[in-house]
Structure 1
Amino acid sequence: MHPDPTFGWRDQQALRAFVGVQRFGMLFAQTPDGPAVAHIPVVWLDDRRIGFHLSRGNRLAKHVDGARALFVVNGPHAYVSPDWYGLADQVPTWNYVAAELEGDVRALPADALPDLIDALSLDSETRLAPKPVWTRDKMTPGLFDRMAGAIIGYEMQVTDWRGTRKLGQNKVPAARSGAADGMAAAGDGAMAALMRETLTGADAV
């Protein structure tokens, strides 16, 4: 995470909500062949556990059970032009929102995998309303069980939370406002909105 405490994001509830909205990120862990990463969707199982699955052929699958791992989620990010600040002697930078969750991973028993898949799919399917929710009951009987044999379910017990909201908080309000206007004009309304939140005190810390 960014070393400047101005950008530090320590609100665990807000971090949890951010991960729940993004629900996709990168799982990093050490293997005998060096560090490896998997790109995965996740779901909150409770306030401190995330659930996910890996293909049995994934490089991490044989090594992540019992390992300490890092899960990284990236949110909006964008280049910031120095011209937008309306100040002299500025330099280009990059604004972004990101969260790191660290914890111990364990493989789930095979009979827990269907419930994990149901939770993962339901979390996304409900966001597609009014489309009817997909469930595995729509599949040919027996096919889901055969396909599930190709993956392993896991959970991470999150013990460390780190976040960054680098949105120009180290600049004076007028410069932040100008940068947000420039960002919006460049077509990045999501980042512009986040930057404007810092002008109203809505930025989480």
Structure 2
Amino acid sequence: MRQNPSFAMTDVAEIRRVIDAHPWVTIVSGTDAGLVASHYAVLLDPARDDLTIVGHVGRPDDLIHGLGESELLVVVQGPHGYISPGWYGDGPAVPTWNFVSVHLRGIPEILTPSENLDVLERLVDRFESGMAQPRPMWQAPNDEDFVRKLERGTVGFRLTPTHVTAKRKLSQNRPAEVVDTIIERLDAGDSPYADPRLADEMRRARDTMRAARS
């Protein structure tokens, strides 16, 4: 991902927030057979306060990616959406696409079976927590044999990235009044491109810039 200083995200807490809010990622590896990509959910490592993530892949994706043997890229996609030139005012303009994205690169560490099992359990707990009646991984009718078989069919990993590129392209190069108008349009819900989540990201970037200037 090409970086632009005007759009760079460098605050670790902000990058962690994006990863935590958007755990469904794309994992890309370069192999002898060419590029391969898979999609899995990840979590921030609770034992760390950096950008280390933990997750798993299903077998045989570990072999396809050469997991643990070579560098891979994890792409975290935050809110994104179309920005109409009609939201810029009366001057000449073309459309663009606003987005927040994080790229994490490094060689992952393979987890032990017990560590992998812990990650699987925490993944289930994370997403079941929003349900009216959460169903943890160990809850019946799941039994120990079922859960252990599940673990054996996956390979857990921990990735402490050696290279991070984080970018939020959120109209920071536009005048303040234009940014405010775009946020209003994204919040309004009167177009097919309305997206309150993207509007929230734009507010965060706008307020950060205004605080820095003051």
TM-score tier (shorter): 0.7 to 0.9
> How many angstroms apart in 1 are the aligned matches of 2:119 and 2:205?
37
Would you say the 8 A contact 1:25–1:39 is kept in 2?
yes
* Residue 42 of structure 1: aligned partner: 42
> How many angstroms apart in 1 are the aligned matches of 2:32 and 2:133?
45
Structure 1 residues 51 and 35, CA gap change in structure 2 (3 angstroms): same
Structure 1 residues 59 and 148, CA gap change in structure 2 (3 angstroms): closer
* Residue 136 of structure 1: aligned partner: 138
Q: How does 1:11-160 map to 2 (within 5 A)?
A: 11-45=11-45, 46-48=48-50, 49-58=52-61, 61=64, 63-126=66-129, 128=130, 131-132=133-134, 134-138=136-140, 139-160=142-163
> How many angstroms apart in 1 are the aligned matches of 2:106 and 2:22?
19
1:80-132 superposed Cα distances (whole Å, 9 cap, x missing partner)? 11111114111110000111111221222223221121122222233x16534
Q: Which amino acid aligns with 1:37?
A: A
Structure 2: state its 5+ residue gaps.
none
* Residue 8 of structure 1: aligned partner: 8
More strand by share: 1
Would you say the 8 A contact 1:183–1:189 is kept in 2?
yes
Would you say the 8 A contact 1:25–1:73 is kept in 2?
yes
Would you say the 8 A contact 2:138–2:144 is kept in 1?
no
Would you say the 8 A contact 1:24–1:39 is kept in 2?
yes
Instruction: State the number of aligned residues.
Output: 204
Do residues 175 (structure 1) and 178 (structure 2) align? yes
Would you say the 8 A contact 2:137–2:147 is kept in 1?
no
1:146-171 superposed Cα distances (whole Å, 9 cap, x missing partner)? 22222111111222222111110100
Question: Alpha-carbon deviation of 1:204?
Answer: 10
> How many angstroms apart in 2 are the aligned matches of 1:64 and 1:34?
15
Structure 1 residues 160 and 3, CA gap change in structure 2 (3 angstroms): closer
Q: Which amino acid aligns with 2:133?
A: K
Quote the sequence identity (%): 25
Aligned-residue RMSD, C-alpha: 2.3
> How many angstroms apart in 1 are the aligned matches of 2:2 and 2:185?
23
- TM-score, normalised to structure 1, is 0.88
Q: Which amino acid aligns with 2:203?
A: R
Structure 1 residues 146 and 81, CA gap change in structure 2 (3 angstroms): same
Question: Alpha-carbon deviation of 1:183?
Answer: 2.3
Do residues 195 (structure 1) and 202 (structure 2) align? yes
Indicate the SS of the match to 1:90: coil
> How many angstroms apart in 2 are the aligned matches of 1:116 and 1:12?
22
Indicate the SS of the match to 2:21: helix
> How many angstroms apart in 2 are the aligned matches of 1:145 and 1:6?
48
Q: Which has the higher contact order (CA 8 A, sep 6+)?
A: 1
Structure 1: state its 5+ residue gaps.
none
Moved more, 92-101 or 143-152: 143-152
Indicate the SS of the match to 2:161: strand
